[in-house]
A and B are shown apart, each in its own frame.
Chain A
Amino acid sequence: MLRVEPLLIENYVAAGTVNLRFNHVLDHGGASERASAATECAGQQDPYSFWTMHNHLFENISSLFSANVDTYVGYAEGLGLDTDAFGSCMADPAVLDKIRAQHDYRTNELNIRRRPAFLINDSVYQGGLPYDAFERAIAEAMN
């Protein structure tokens, strides 16, 4: 999704025919939880900031294993967010509950065991998909 997401946004989201949502998966313990919490805390201040933080984390994916709360506060500051509110949010257990609930939904409700995985309307696609596979899946979903 990392590679094809810009194309999906350009060709489908911009046209208004497709919308995207991100379901947190916590396969790497606390590091995954902090990264997911950072996107949720950005979204609490401004919904679009969820996606700007989401993009920023994927651009800095190599540094996320060692990233701590201060690292994410620094990211938030770089995105123009309120760092005090962001720091408070990162310590809020409700945020952790929310991202854990999404992880459980993916595992228990969608029965997804592989990563990445996609739910396109009602169809589940597990494993990485090239862009043309997304095109076919979207065309099938629209018919």
Chain B
Amino acid sequence: MDDFLPERQASGKPGTKASVRHAKFTFLLAVVLCAALIAVGCGPGSAPMVDSEDDTAVPEAAAAEPEEADTASREPATEEASAEDAEPAESTEVAEAEPEPVSDPEPDEAVVEDPPDWTTHVFVDGGYYVLGNPEAEVSILDAGDFL
């Protein structure tokens, strides 16, 4: 045992410097490796970030879809709502428009009113059956016999 220990000590003493060098080398190697790992992207922080990005991207997309779906579903809802909002407006417009056509024909009727067919209009004046316009500028009396 003692031999062994001195050997170890003996070997240790002259090996202390070596062990220090070995430790430094090992440390440097570890630093380099760690730096290399970090550079490669396998660092402790990078891997989760990528994963988190992937994970986030999917949920975002998934979340976006529902959002889009919501949006899409809202859009019709909004359209429906706007349509519903518009319907009363349209109905109001229709209600406003309805009187217009009703009111338009009235003046049209008044303006476009066809003149009477004076050739079939007969009125009685002084015992005569008068054919034509009572307000005519000219009145012709035909004094005649049928025979």
Residues of A near any B CB (own CB < 8 A)? 1, 5, 8-10, 12-28, 31-32, 35-36, 39, 43, 47-48, 50-51, 54, 57-58, 61, 64-65, 98, 101-102, 106, 110, 112, 115-121, 134, 138, 141-142
Residue among B121, B131, B138, B144 making CB contact with A23, cutoff 8 Å = B144
Q: Which of B121, B130, B141, B146 contacts A35 (CB 8 A)?
A: B146
B residues near A (Cβ < 8 Å) are 115-125, 127-147
- CB<8 Å pairs between A and B, sample of 13: A17-B136, A17-B138, A19-B131, A21-B141, A22-B141, A24-B145, A48-B121, A48-B122, A106-B143, A116-B143, A116-B144, A138-B138, A141-B138
Please determine whether A102 and B127 come into contact, CB atoms closer than 8 angstroms.
yes
In angstroms, how far is the closest chain B Cβ from the Cβ of A46? 8
B119 near A13: Cβ-Cβ < 8 Å: yes
Please pick, from A17, A65, A98, A101, the residue contacting B147 in the complex, using a CB distance under 8 A. Answer: A65
Alpha-carbon separation in the docked complex, A17 to B119 (Å): 11
A126 CB, nearest partner CB in chain B, Å: 9
Query: In the bound complex, how far is the Cα of B129 from the Cα of A43, in angstroms?
Result: 7
Q: From the candidates A20, A57, A65, A138, name the one contacting B142 in the complex (CB within 8 A).
A: A20
Report yes or no: B147 in contact with A51, Cβ–Cβ below 8 A.
Answer: no
Asked if residues B142 and A18 are in contact (CB atoms below 8 Å), the reply is: no
User: Which residues on the A side are within 8 Å of B121 (C-beta)?
Assistant: 48
Docked complex Cα distance between A22 and B140 (Å): 9
